[in-house]
Amino acid sequence: MPIRTRLPIIVHHKASLDGHGAFPNSLQAVDACLSACAQVIEIDAMALADGDYLLVHDYRLESETTGYGLVSACTELSARELKVRSPFSSGDRVALLSDVVSLMVAHGGLSRLQVDLKSVLPFADDEPLRRLIRIITPLGDRVTVSSIADWQLRKLRILAPELPLGLDIQFYLDWRPTAEGDDLDSYPHHRGAYGFLDDHPLSLRHIWATADYLRDRCAVLLGLVPHVQSFYVRHQMLLQSLEGGFNWAAALHQAGVQLDAWTLDADTPNIDAIVRTLIAEGVDMITTNTPVALAARIRSLVSESGRLNDTGS
């Protein structure tokens, strides 16, 4: 399989950096990524009751911090007293989004920030989203806001027309090996007739060719967020779609949208074959917990192909 000549951008999942040892989504992790000249640093953020956003993945404080209760009920003042809960760390303070923005502004450089908005439930009013926009504004065009909640992204598009936005499609269409089981506590609830995790009515019967079905679903998903800049798709979903004859990257590029494949680590079985396939497919970004090792593996594979003319980002 030929390797294209431009390397995909490496996205540091939860500010990961091989061997650094900092806990996910921490200020220490972000600082290490900045020092390593990371291309894109992805962090998870949830809205506090006021003032700021907390860098956590889960909606309950006790999952990752020394606090208890809903993140959305925690004030900024209380959040500044939170520590990362053992065994993740030994007493380091949980970061706020404003901390990260200040650190990146002070550091300078070209690293971009991807804020993955984990506040899924709609807000009572627009204040939390206006707050988010205010906090990230100092980064200018160095920031993207992504989410699985397209309704939040539509609101952001109205409030900040020029803000780069990215949609993770897993609420609507996904794929995991059958051996991993289907999680009925999350969306989509069912495995449809085309083999994907998919609750759409058209997935009840296999009528179209798989490629035609996916092409139609892609077109619908593109309409969820006006002027969306990027799609985030599980890398296994991309590989399964290719088996069905559909190339997400090609379809998205026709609409001017970039594609991120998540989350692919250097120790993944058959990593070389997967990387070759994803690069040949045309993915623009790869999200990983092992950015240094994965980037080295990608460079090696592209170099071995003898087709490296422009290393890109």
Which residues are CB-neighbours of 194 under 8 A, at least 6 positions away?
Answer: 203, 206, 210, 213, 214, 244
> Could you tell me the fold of the domain covering 9-305?
TIM Barrel (3.20.20)
Question: Where does 32-164 show beta strands of DSSP type E?
Answer: 40-47, 53-54, 112-117, 143-147
**Contact, 255 vs 230, CB < 8 A?**
no
Q: Taking the model in full, what pTM does it have? A: 0.94
Q: Which two tokens stand for residue 6?
A: 């431009």
Percent of the chain topping pLDDT 90: 86
Q: Is the pLDDT of residue 181 over 60?
A: no
Per-residue confidence (pLDDT) for residue 304, from 0 to 100: 82
Closest CA relative to residue 1, chosen from 217, 276, 266: 276
pLDDT band with cut points at 50, 70 and 90 for residue 180: low
Mean pLDDT, the chain, whole residue set: 93
Whether the upstream peptide bond of residue 8 has omega within 30° of 0, thus cis, is: no
In this structure, the strands spanning 258-262 and 285-288 are parallel
- Which residues lie across from 166 on neighbouring strands? 146, 230
Per-residue confidence (pLDDT) for residue 282, from 0 to 100: 97
The pLDDT tens digits of the residues spanning 250-282 come to: 999 999 999 999 999 999 999 999 999 999 999
User: What's CA 124's distance to the chain center, in Å?
Assistant: 25
- Ranges of each domain in the chain: 9-305
The pLDDT tens digits of the residues spanning 56-110 come to: 999 999 999 999 999 999 999 999 999 998 776 667 899 999 999 999 999 999 9
Per-residue confidence (pLDDT) for residue 303, from 0 to 100: 84
The pLDDT tens digits of the residues spanning 124-167 come to: 999 999 999 999 999 999 999 999 999 999 999 999 999 999 99
**Contact, 34 vs 25, CB < 8 A?**
no
The pLDDT tens digits of the residues spanning 215-236 come to: 999 999 999 999 999 999 999 9
Per-residue confidence (pLDDT) for residue 91, from 0 to 100: 75
pLDDT band with cut points at 50, 70 and 90 for residue 245: very high
